Structure 1
Amino acid sequence: MLYYAAVFLVIALIAAVFGFGGIAAGAAGIAKILFIIFIVGFVVSLVMGLMRR
């Protein structure tokens, strides 16, 4: 479960770099939404992984 939390974090960071860095200015809105979704998924996965211990 902690592995999935790390994967969500990496995907969220990649979405943030492409969305907020000006590389893909046209897709910034979509990247922001994906960033929030993956951050929420990361936090949920992290909490669930810590609760199982």
Structure 2
Amino acid sequence: MTFTFDQTYYRDLLLKFTPKAIETELEYEAYLAVLEELTFLKNLTQEEKAL
């Protein structure tokens, strides 16, 4: 089975969850929520894995 990488979906993920240095408690909590969401998703897409 060949998987394709959807550049548009990956770009949208990056726009939603732009990586940057965490400087505040609020930013930490926001990034933690994203990481927890991705950690517990079943069947991550290739784009989600790359993020």
TM-score (normalised: structure 1): 0.37
**Which structure features the higher share of helix residues?**
1
Larger relative contact order, structure 1 or 2 (CA cutoff 8 Å, min sep 6) = 2
